[in-house]
């Protein structure tokens, strides 16, 4: 695991806040309302997706988080085996 300096953390936070404010200024009301309802811990993931930094892994993680009301433990215990994402859902115990 890489340790970041306080300066690096502050710079990352500053970049996030700039990107977030630009996104909120430019997006539609529905998207803004959706984004603002996301818990703070998961905002960077959703901001990346909403601003075009899509990857399959990020999109799957975001969908599972949204479906489980942003609870990682609920994703691990997901009972919906018919879900197309069930076998590739994040936070599974190996």
pLDDT in tens, 26-77: 888 888 898 999 999 999 999 999 999 889 999 999 999 999 999 999 999 9
Q: What is the pTM of this model?
A: 0.80
CA distance 92 to 86: 10
Structural domains counted in the chain: 1
CA atoms within 13 A on the CB side of 11: 5
- At residue 1 the predicted structure's pLDDT band, cuts being 50, 70 and 90, is low
- Residue 48 maps to a domain: yes
Hey, which of 1-5, 25-29, 83-87 has the most confident mean pLDDT?
A: 83-87
CA distance 21 to 19: 6
Structure tokens at 24: 């909120």
- Residue 1 maps to a domain: no
Structure tokens at 12: 């990352």
Q: What is the pLDDT of residue 31?
A: 86
- Full domain range(s) for residue 64: 6-88
- Rounded to 5°, the CA angle 68-87-85 comes to 50
Q: What is the pLDDT of residue 10?
A: 93
């Amino acid at each position: 695991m890489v340790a970041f300096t306080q300066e690096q953390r502050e710079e990352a936070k500053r970049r996030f806040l700039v990107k977030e404010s630009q996104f909120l200024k430019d997006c539609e009301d529905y998207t803004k309302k959706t984004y603002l309802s996301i818990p703070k811990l998961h905002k960077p993931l959703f901001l990346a997706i909403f601003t075009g930094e899509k990857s399959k892994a990020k999109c799957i993680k975001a969908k599972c988080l949204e479906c489980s009301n942003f609870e990682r433990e609920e994703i691990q215990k997901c009972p919906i085996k018919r879900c197309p994402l069930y076998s590739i859902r994040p936070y599974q115990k190996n």
